[in-house]
Amino acid sequence: MGEPIVAAWLSRSSLDVAPELIGCTLVRRFASGEELRGMIVETEAYTVNDPACHAYRRRTARNQVMFGPAGFSYIYKIYGMYHCFNVVTDGDGIPSAVLIRALQVDHSLSTAVAHIQHQSPDKPHRVAAGPGKLCRWMQIDTSLSSTPLVPGSPLWLEQRSPAIQQAFDDGTHTLVQTTRIGISQGTELPWRWYLNESPAVSRR
DNA sequence: CTTCCGATTGAA
DNA sequence: TCAATCGGAAGG
């Protein structure tokens, strides 16, 4: 277990938070007490005055949580069959979020039940290599939207471990910054980041 | 109300 | 390259 990420740390521009979330851990906790973990290896930032942001046009029932304070989940259904998980960032009244696009899973930490529940055609290291895939693997759906990201909740975040931070510091881990995927507006904005050394990045 | 289409994925 | 599949958002 790492140090929990608190709302204050997320209360900054999504453009600052998104790259810093790489190497951090997303934790999914079930009512049974079972937990699934994955290291974040790919993120995208969405912010104000960003035509690709769901909150660009107006406040709606779906995107309202993005208008509130940082530290909550924003989860939506896409293409009628997948879900996407976001972390709400920045101050109250500033709609912005970071889309978590891929997790690197350490299968030695996964429990037997978790293995049974995720039947995926992919190789094990790719089970969470994409925003829709990570939600499928962690069993995340819209019922978990607007959840506070704090320990003991169904979802929370943990800071980079000392070992991971060291890997960034000594250059073993490097970040790639590029343009976002799957959008039709704001395509020129370089607001996607991924861990170059990870095999779990959705797309390069 | 009706129409359109998407912050995706996996198969052809 | 393209279909699956459906809820939210836009348009009339």
Q: Mark the nucleotides of strand C covered by protein, meaning any atom under 7 Å from a CB.
A: 4-10
pLDDT of residue A123: 87
Q: Which residues from 59-78 of A have any strand C atom under 7 Å from their CB?
A: 60-63, 76-77
Residues 50-69 of A with CB under 7 A from strand B: 52-55, 66
The per-residue DSSP string of A2-47 comes to -PBPPHHHHSS-HHHHHHHHTT-EEEEE-TTS-EEEEEEEEEEEE-
CA A112 to each of CA A34, A104, A108, A117: distance values in angstroms, whole numbers, following the listed order: 10, 18, 10, 9
Q: What is the mean pLDDT of residues A72-83?
A: 98
Q: Straight-line distance from CA A132 to C1' C5, in Å?
A: 14
- Distance (Å) from CA A131 to C1' B1? 33
pLDDT (0 to 100) of residue A1: 83
Residue at shortest CA–C1' distance from C5? A80
Alpha helices for chain A (secondary structure H): 7-10, 14-21, 64-67, 112-117, 131-138, 162-169
pLDDT at A45 over 90: yes
Can you tell me the distance from the alpha carbon of A89 to that of A198, in angstroms, rounded to the nearest whole number?
25
pLDDT at A168: 98
Could you say which residues 93-112 of protein chain A have a Cβ atom less than 7 A away from any atom in strand B? 97, 99
- Which nucleotide is closest to A142, CA to C1'? C7
* pLDDT value, residue A112: 41
Q: What is the pLDDT of residues A129-169, one digit of tens each?
A: 999 999 999 999 999 999 999 999 999 999 999 999 999 99
Is the pLDDT at A63 greater than 60, yes or no? yes
Whole-model pTM above 0.85?
Answer: yes
Q: Determine the distance from the C-alpha atom of residue A166 to the mean position of all C-alpha atoms in its chain, rounded to a whole number.
A: 22
pLDDT at A153: 98
Nucleotide nearest to A54 (CA to C1'): B7
- The pLDDT assigned to A116 comes to 43
Which nucleotides in chain B have some atom under 7 angstroms from a protein Cβ? 6-11
Q: Is the CB of A179 under 7 A from strand B?
A: no
Question: Does residue A111 have a pLDDT over 60?
Answer: no
The distance (Å) linking the CA of A204 with the C1' of C1 is: 19
Percentage, residues of chain A above pLDDT 90:
90
